[in-house]
Amino acid sequence: MATLLSVTLSSCDRDLLETFPNDRLSESLFWHNENDAKLAANALYADLDGVNIISWDALTDIAHTNQNFDVQAYIELGSYDATSSKIYTEWANAYKGIRATSYFLANVDKVTTANTALINQLKGEAKVLRAYQYIKLAGLFGDVPLITTPLSIEEGRSLTRTPVSQIWDFVDQELSEAAPLLPLTYAAADKGRVTRGAALGLLARANLWAGRYQKAANAADQVIKLGVYGLYESYEKLFSYAAENNREVLLDNQFIKDTYPNTVFQTLAPYSQKNGGSSYVPTKVLADLYETSTGKRITDSQSGYNPTQPYVNRDNRLKYSLYLEGDILPSGAVFKPQPTSGTSDAIGSTYIASTTGFNIKKYINTEDYANPANSGINIILLRYAEVLLTYAEAKIELNQLDAEVLTAINTVRNGRGDVKQPSITSTSQAELREIVRRERAVELAFEGQRLFDIRRWKIADKVVPGPVYGITYVSANGSLTTVQVVAVNKVFDVNRHYLWPIPQKEIDLNNSLVQNPGW
């Protein structure tokens, strides 16, 4: 009996040692059925960008990193190098997404199913999500390692950088192959998944950034002709909960309060709003880019612009994108940023209050006021207005100045119920180039496009450097005073800042990676 008990206990001990980890699934238990494939594809969306896209605009002329001790502030000042944690984080997050999608594509065919259409759709989603990361990496760093399969640690130590032209080739091929695998729309339960329109819209973006204008125009035209997309009727409400999943959105990162929240309210809101962070704030440069309601620049003597009432009779997108003096805040209070206002939003009242006197209004919703760190608002990554402007810009650069160019631009300018700027009629390539660039700045402000735009246009070294200015107000002595942010002088070195440095951590781990020029 004792011997039998001993053998039994020994057998039990061996069974106890043969356990599965309780924090993950073994591959032997996964990749069996359609549900496994769909769950794995769902997980890929977590690597999409979110609130961080807004931070990119603060590295340009239209916004500013509000706290000077923020790691990103050093990039504005030009006093950063390859050890910057901001730069490493963007690199690491992108390659995390690439690894996840590559792993999915290497394993999804293990699933046994007759539903090949579903598997092909999921493959298409993964290809688009991987291409999204490569578009960003190419825009930020230029040549980067092209990885399409899961790598071992040792393989990762010998990677080299792939010429950026080949990255663009890969992205073009991936998105072109993915588009026909994807549906035009999804049922309500699957809203937010990658569609054919998202694939083609990203294809247009990628080719525009690469300077491949005919391909960009063709891809944008395909999106237009799908007949699925259009502008949302209200620019003011476009970034609200009520507008989620509207027909203008091609791609977004979908969040859920309590379950999968973001911190956009806490990050951007004025300080008076439950200690809002004002982490990134608009500048005077952006405010001045919005035309008057007559369609003229404020520098035009015929515009009717009144500097003592700077926000009256302006393009409505200004007041829908920026918190301006007198606006009603989510708390019900009035926004009063002037230094002498005595409010917690007054410039200089605290180091957290906006140093320019402007705050970002997009994505700031009353529903999030009670719990600012628990926002469920979706962050838009690609929308139809961008596609229209991409189409127009590509055709302008090709000097294909037909009626469709003007239609695309004017749809953005006056195709909504609450945005009615006068139509553009110019047929001059130089004038249209300036117009479409300004439209991109004001229409897509705080949506992560400006940094890539001014770098590909090669104007960053002209528009970024210099002091940062904010609101203009009537001071106590009756004179007009323009706020200048203290001790900030933005720097953009033409010899090296058009590309970020490859993170030093990556070079330390792999000496086959060659650093970008000037770093």
197, 178 in Cβ contact below 8 A? no
Same domain? For 357 and 326 the reply is yes
Same domain? For 228 and 354 the reply is no
The DSSP output letter for 488 is E
Same domain? For 149 and 88 the reply is yes
- 56 assigned to some structural domain: yes
Same domain? For 415 and 301 the reply is no
Distance CA(89)–CA(80), nearest Å, equals 14
- 3 assigned to some structural domain: no
Same domain? For 77 and 147 the reply is yes
Cα end-to-end span (Å), the chain = 76
Same domain? For 99 and 231 the reply is no
- 285 assigned to some structural domain: yes
The first and second tokens of residue 471, run together, are 């609101």
Q: Which domain holds residue 353?
A: 264-366+461-485
- 23 assigned to some structural domain: no
3-class DSSP state of 375: strand
Of 147, 57, 43, the residue nearest 94 (C-alpha):
147
pLDDT digits (tens, 9 = 90+) for 324-366: 999 999 999 999 999 999 999 999 999 999 999 999 999 999 9
Mean pLDDT by 10 residues, the chain (519 residues): 39 49 66 94 98 98 96 97 98 98 97 96 98 98 97 91 98 98 97 98 98 98 98 98 98 98 98 98 98 97 94 98 98 97 97 98 98 98 99 98 98 98 98 98 98 98 98 92 97 98 97 96
The DSSP output letter for 479 is -
- 95 assigned to some structural domain: yes
- 504 assigned to some structural domain: yes
Distance CA(402)–CA(246), nearest Å, equals 29
- 63 assigned to some structural domain: yes
> Residue 90: exposed, middle, or buried by beta-carbon count in 10 A (0-12, 13-18, 19+)?
buried
CATH number for the domain including 406? 1.25.40.390
Same domain? For 203 and 312 the reply is no
Same domain? For 502 and 471 the reply is no
Same domain? For 69 and 142 the reply is yes
Does the pTM of the predicted model rise above 0.85?
yes
Same domain? For 76 and 169 the reply is yes
Element (H, E) at 323: strand 322-323
Sequence-distant (≥ 6) Cβ neighbours of residue 306 within 8 angstroms: 312
- 157 assigned to some structural domain: yes
Total number of domains in the chain:
3
Same domain? For 330 and 430 the reply is no
Distance CA(432)–CA(390), nearest Å, equals 13
Same domain? For 477 and 511 the reply is no
| Per-residue model confidence (pLDDT) at position 25 | 57
CATH number for the domain including 512? 1.25.40.890
pLDDT digits (tens, 9 = 90+) for 400-427: 999 999 999 999 999 999 999 999 999 9
| Per-residue model confidence (pLDDT) at position 476 | 85
Distance CA(74)–CA(399), nearest Å, equals 39
